[in-house]
Copies of this chain bind each other. A is one copy, B any other.
Amino acid sequence: MRKIKLTVAYDGTDFHGFQRQPGKRTVQGTLEAAISRLNGTETHVTGAGRTDAGVHAWAQVCHFETGNPMPVEKWVTVLNQTLPRDLVIRMAEEVAPSFHARKDACWKTYRYVIDRSPVPDVFTRRYATHLPVSLDVRRMQRAAEQLVGTHDFTSFSSAKSSVEDRVRTIYRCEIREQGDKLRIEVTGNGFLYNMVRIIVGTLVEVGTGKRAPESISRSLAAKDRSAAGKTMPPEGLTMVEVGYEPWEGMD
């Protein structure tokens, strides 16, 4: 058996999230059906992270095992011919049998895009959240700095989450303005359920003046979901990168 690592991009709009669910169109289900058909045997695909319904990926990483001797470049071409247009294999590599897409991931970067234009930009409406409000970006940046570091992120995860250890390390949280768009990028060693969407929702409340930038430390200390801001909708969120070497900052 060989192990293949895939780098996958998808437009999450018309998927019920990454994780396989009976009778629903999911990224994992669609990939597994295509790969199983090629392999001639049922093949399980493991992803680096489960993205929610409506969340996109520019470089989700997956792995699967196969006895198929087809050269790796061929996997890209052949799979893309059978996959729907909103799910694309960007790269395939043969990796060591021990490689695990989720367990070996050292860090992930997510990007959240807010469209602040008065009327929604029709060309980015699927990938940006329309929020035509005035945001003080400097205040948001001051708040974002307080998230960097190792913290218990209980306040910034869905109350539904059953994970016990909620300590995560955020390596960077950067906000960039590009015309009417605001791009918030967060890199961390792991993310709890809804964590990025709650972080962005809290930063937006700082930007509108509803919260003080300094309140973030108190929100973290509270270890209570109600101490942070609202959960932002999924369409603005994209998983942009997964790293398999320890984080050493941006290139």
Q: Hey, which bits of chain A sit against chain B, CB under 8 A?
A: 9-11, 56, 58, 76, 80, 85-90, 118-123, 125, 127
Contacts and interface: CB of A to CB of B under 8 A. Distances in A.
Given A76-B119, A80-B119, A119-B90, A125 B85 contact: yes
A247 to B, nearest CB: 25
A245 to B, nearest CB: 24
Nearest to A124: B123
Contacts of A119: 76, 80, 88-90
Contacts of A127: 123
A168 B56 CA distance: 43
Nearest to A127: B123
A119 B122 CA distance: 24
A166 to B, nearest CB: 32
A154 to B, nearest CB: 33
A11 B124 CA distance: 10
A125 B86 CA distance: 8
A136 to B, nearest CB: 25
Contacts of A87: 122
Contacts of A118: 76
A58 B124 CA distance: 12
16 contacts: A9-B121, A9-B122, A11-B123, A11-B125, A58-B123, A76-B118, A76-B119, A85-B120, A85-B122, A85-B125, A86-B122, A86-B125, A88-B120, A88-B122, A89-B119, A90-B119
A53 to B, nearest CB: 17
A241 to B, nearest CB: 15
